[in-house]
Structure 1
């Protein structure tokens, strides 16, 4: 990449070094592997007038190219893909785009002068950013517990607005302002623009990691949180309790997994902790021009703006026995093939939009994993008689992503049991073997439900449980267990318990990302699976009550969750 008038070489896994920077040009060598996350980070850092060059294999041969990224998505014991559906989709988007310049070896160069005219760039429009700056300053001058929320897509100047507002506030009066975010590097733009506005005095503008912020409770006049979705919601709740004057930013469609799914959950926190909030939407780009072709191209390739289509409840057929349920036996279930997704862009956007809405940390690379990983299957559910038509009209009601894990031989199982081997992407069997001492767990095959999501309009009608029933029947003769792992909260735990899954482990430590305890649950399918489930359940129930005081001494907010577990294993 070219930044600060210097050429810098980065490995793909170093792409995050471009966060907070402005880049003149990027040359991406796709022979080193195409990582959608890296492409999004680097492409989003390119400023107006910049260029992104992809060096690729010949397009007709690219899907069959032995992409180094296959190692990242191939689970241990599975064959590497021989064909990339993700790259096939990427080629279609490149070929259909009128803004992509395609230069092919041994072929005539395109006539750039005829098709691509350069025009003088218009001066940036700072009106949205100026309104955002005033909103941030009003947090300090106005009433307590009325935060400012800055929302926009990439390149609209959110981070710069935080920095400029901080500089102006410090110029006006001696203050202490705190900044937090994913990392100090990721908020560099805030400090850069603050320094351009005002000569920053030591300790007047300081970065705090989110956990240290909660722990130390520094005395500050204003807290700036850049990319709030990078911080667990439970931590954001604690921060809202401690600090009365806060300004947040969040990217609506971002490469790191933010979006509206996060804002729906975040709004609940704001409503419970604040007297109100001022939301400021920055829609005008600053880093590049309106309708920038590279921005539009990356949005399409990475599905940054994928959202599920609306759908009506009018066709729901509720059972007479329970008005809160629907008769899922009449719904149509299907394995959604990877070829279906590649050939139907509307279906792809609908499915990925659902996954993003339910799991706001969904990243662009998750689509590549879904399309190219050999051990991944996607299941969908539609209303009666609507399957083919709805697939075409992108009206899927719910989806589940399932990974096949385990099935190892005796030698490999012994190595896992002895902590001498950690096979990639076999989370649940490895956990039961290495942590619970159940060596048969890695010998049996498990279908782990990585994600399950139902449209909000259809939730609490039994649709999710119907989808689980279908998955159970589909794998009836293929695997020994169904399983899942998730960050435990009361509602999610209740769903899995009601679906006849049994808890087999709850993590001792809270996850830094979710600030919840990881919970593992299983449901037996085969006789061997039933034997293992009985052993795992007995082992868990025998230890769990004794662990409550020793391992979970400060878990009061989750007492209801733990009590529910105790009641179920009694």
Structure 2
């Protein structure tokens, strides 16, 4: 047995009793580090994350070593291992590190392979490629994330550092006994054979079962930090309901289908003979199945119970529809994690849930199941990935802060130098957006051409905007992008205008894309976001940008917000994002005289595309979104010619009840498009009817159902009244 193998064995022996884990950092050449690990005689089951350069070592690793590419880290979720190797020579992917450390069980060791400390900052980390458009930009990438990581490694007394050409360190381990706390048994015991890891899990499963056996409209909120067995509890409780209660159909939804694999794995333990596929589990004529969030919202499938896993990573608008549409629901979410954040979930969604279901229930899983309390690897991971960063806390909404606000542009260097500033900023981003990942944290520190704007109230960050420079392509590159031969990372605005709208000249303009804009939830509706946007706009004008722009999942309230700031839509994505259930929309605001013509052309193409696709790819879009888009189509060159005198007569006769809709629908359509903004004069019910029947061309049966009319005749009568309203409010020859 080699000296290093003995060294690792002694560490494992010391930490095994209390289920603690340890991080061992191997600082030196890659071949040296790999050679050290392959010398370990009792390596055990090992998950090895790394991409290239492993072929020469594979024959020495043995059958127990599972090689996983960095971009495939998601595949290891739901498994566990006693040894983890993370090769940062393959790129320090923050999301991959967070996922990988979550599968390391108590008594396990994580080996982090890094360049020597003095050489790491000069190493061209392959992960940099995710933040640049082309290799020539590598020199402009910051190494602040790695600088901070090195500092965290050196400051953490629990991290064991092994340096090439130096003696092995002397390690004194003092296992923490606090992880052995005992929880009192639950009042109502489950069947003794159910494989729960601790009493908190057992209590939580009982609460899930009560969602079925108790009163309707009393949803359960289950929160947990990573590694607490949240998904396993969902699976075990679902299996008990299928096996022991009159429950035959349970639906599980989550942002990604991968989440249900672990759920099914645990459910099978209680359902002998169950047949599993990627999307469902069947047992004795009963089923637990996965349905994507967008399908849940659109189709509202019937079921006995709906389980929403990783609810924090689903937009609040979708969660609200789910809460309104289902009577028995469990919302489960991670407090700190790469899937989303429970803190933001609480602030964004709980206020809505209180109004919809004031008798909702809550349960929290706090005790780890794979490792002990106060685990060193968990604490280290949380720190380096900013998983526990918090924004400034306000106990309640506060008003009247506008007079004390300070608007600033800050640098990434300032974030590195001032940890409190970094925590407040990223904490706010996590709080404000439903999907903020550790990769976003690294991008915040390292991405080139990223500009950071903040609003402070008494030195506390209360709002922020992240703006990315785009555009200004060289002629040859611009042609390749326009022809669809090249796709660039970043450069979303210029690339979309060129490749999707066909506007080749867009590549010569300078764009400032607002990647994120966030205001603390308890200071919203005080025009802070509007003032911040104006601050960014003035900066962009001084820096000679041609456009301000943004791209986001389109909802009517969000689009109305951007319209109010002076932006106009130029593109609406043809397909829905499965996680958000929305079509992406791109908005622009021209800042130079030269950019006005391109904006005019983009708007013209957008309106023509919208009009054509409303009865096709856009025929299921929310009517409120179409109304919001229509209200802002006011430019003269976008409007259709006035309808003919004969069309006007036919519509008038239709409004009086003498013609069927199918004989005048073409004239009705022309009437609307000669002045789309008139839709703002209609009631919400009239807007919904106009969009669904006239623009999206739904059947009368669909229209009657979606608009909630008691029969086709009432819907037809309302349509005739609507025609008369438009005739009365629209100019005509």
Does the TM-score normalized on the shorter chain lie above 0.5?
A: yes
Matched, 1:42 2:124: no
| Range that drifts further, 31-40 or 438-447 | 438-447
Are the aligned partners of 1:148 and 1:280 in contact in 2 as well (CA < 8 Å)? Answer: yes
Are the aligned partners of 2:235 and 2:263 in contact in 1 as well (CA < 8 Å)? Answer: yes
Are the aligned partners of 1:545 and 1:566 in contact in 2 as well (CA < 8 Å)? Answer: no
The 2-side partners of 1:121 and 1:284 are apart by: 9
Shift of 1:460: 2.0
Instruction: Describe the shift of the 1:24–1:549 C-alpha distance in structure 2 as closer, same or farther (beyond 3 A).
Output: same
The 1-side partners of 2:446 and 2:565 are apart by: 30
Once the two structures are superposed, residues 507-527 of structure 1 have per-residue CA deviations (whole angstroms, 9 ceiling, x without a partner) of: 233222211222211112222
The 2-side partners of 1:465 and 1:237 are apart by: 26
Instruction: Describe the shift of the 1:317–1:130 C-alpha distance in structure 2 as closer, same or farther (beyond 3 A).
Output: closer
The 2-side partners of 1:399 and 1:88 are apart by: 24
Determine the structure 2 residue equivalent to 1:524. Answer: 590
Shift of 1:122: 3.3
Instruction: Describe the shift of the 1:199–1:221 C-alpha distance in structure 2 as closer, same or farther (beyond 3 A).
Output: farther
The number of aligned residues is 551
Instruction: Describe the shift of the 1:171–1:307 C-alpha distance in structure 2 as closer, same or farther (beyond 3 A).
Output: same
Matched, 1:88 2:147: yes
Once the two structures are superposed, residues 3-26 of structure 1 have per-residue CA deviations (whole angstroms, 9 ceiling, x without a partner) of: 699321111011111111122121
The 2-side partners of 1:313 and 1:239 are apart by: 27
The aligned runs of 1:422-501 (5 Å cut-off) are 422-476=487-541, 477-501=543-567
Determine the structure 2 residue equivalent to 1:332. Answer: 406
Out of 75, 87, 92, the residue aligned to residue 133 of structure 2 is 75
Determine the structure 1 residue equivalent to 2:570. Answer: 504
RMSD of Structure 2 on Structure 1 (CA): 2.9
| Range that drifts further, 347-356 or 74-83 | 74-83
The 1-side partners of 2:222 and 2:436 are apart by: 21
The 1-side partners of 2:100 and 2:443 are apart by: 20
Once the two structures are superposed, residues 161-202 of structure 1 have per-residue CA deviations (whole angstroms, 9 ceiling, x without a partner) of: 112222333342463233333445422332232233342545
Shift of 1:128: 1.8
Instruction: Describe the shift of the 1:48–1:169 C-alpha distance in structure 2 as closer, same or farther (beyond 3 A).
Output: same
The aligned runs of 1:74-473 (5 Å cut-off) are 74-76=132-134, 79-81=137-139, 83-112=142-171, 114-116=172-174, 122=180, 126-173=198-245, 175-176=247-248, 177-199=250-272, 201-202=274-275, 203=282, 204-210=286-292, 211=294, 220-268=303-351, 270-271=353-354, 273-274=356-357, 276-310=359-393, 326=402, 331-383=405-457, 390=459, 395-473=460-538
Are the aligned partners of 2:85 and 2:111 in contact in 1 as well (CA < 8 Å)? Answer: yes
Shift of 1:243: 4.0
Shift of 1:317: 6.4
Are the aligned partners of 1:20 and 1:187 in contact in 2 as well (CA < 8 Å)? Answer: no
Are the aligned partners of 1:136 and 1:247 in contact in 2 as well (CA < 8 Å)? Answer: yes
The 2-side partners of 1:535 and 1:215 are apart by: 34
Are the aligned partners of 2:255 and 2:578 in contact in 1 as well (CA < 8 Å)? Answer: no
Shift of 1:537: 3.0
Instruction: Describe the shift of the 1:118–1:474 C-alpha distance in structure 2 as closer, same or farther (beyond 3 A).
Output: closer
Shift of 1:55: 0.7
Instruction: Describe the shift of the 1:497–1:19 C-alpha distance in structure 2 as closer, same or farther (beyond 3 A).
Output: same
The 2-side partners of 1:234 and 1:120 are apart by: 41
Instruction: Describe the shift of the 1:342–1:465 C-alpha distance in structure 2 as closer, same or farther (beyond 3 A).
Output: same
The 1-side partners of 2:612 and 2:299 are apart by: 32
Shift of 1:288: 1.3
The 2-side partners of 1:349 and 1:377 are apart by: 17
Structure having the higher Rg: 2
Determine the structure 1 residue equivalent to 2:121. Answer: 63
Shift of 1:226: 2.4
The 2-side partners of 1:117 and 1:106 are apart by: 29
Are the aligned partners of 1:167 and 1:200 in contact in 2 as well (CA < 8 Å)? Answer: no
Tell me, what secondary structure is at the counterpart of 1:188?
helix
Matched, 1:2 2:25: no
Shift of 1:564: 2.9
Instruction: Describe the shift of the 1:200–1:343 C-alpha distance in structure 2 as closer, same or farther (beyond 3 A).
Output: farther
Shift of 1:545: 4.6
Are the aligned partners of 1:162 and 1:224 in contact in 2 as well (CA < 8 Å)? Answer: yes
The 1-side partners of 2:299 and 2:64 are apart by: 40
Once the two structures are superposed, residues 246-305 of structure 1 have per-residue CA deviations (whole angstroms, 9 ceiling, x without a partner) of: 223100111222322133333355346546321111122222111111111111111111
Instruction: Describe the shift of the 1:341–1:267 C-alpha distance in structure 2 as closer, same or farther (beyond 3 A).
Output: same
Once the two structures are superposed, residues 307-352 of structure 1 have per-residue CA deviations (whole angstroms, 9 ceiling, x without a partner) of: 111369999767xxxxxxx46xx84332221111111111111000
- Stretches of structure 1 that go unaligned for 5 or more consecutive residues are 319-325
Tell me, what secondary structure is at the counterpart of 2:603?
helix
The 1-side partners of 2:466 and 2:548 are apart by: 12
- Stretches of structure 2 that go unaligned for 5 or more consecutive residues are 1-44, 49-62, 184-197, 276-281, 639-676, 678-733
The 1-side partners of 2:64 and 2:181 are apart by: 25
Once the two structures are superposed, residues 464-491 of structure 1 have per-residue CA deviations (whole angstroms, 9 ceiling, x without a partner) of: 2222222222222332111111112232
Are the aligned partners of 2:179 and 2:374 in contact in 1 as well (CA < 8 Å)? Answer: no
The 1-side partners of 2:399 and 2:330 are apart by: 42
The 1-side partners of 2:399 and 2:425 are apart by: 20
Once the two structures are superposed, residues 489-515 of structure 1 have per-residue CA deviations (whole angstroms, 9 ceiling, x without a partner) of: 232222222222222222233222211
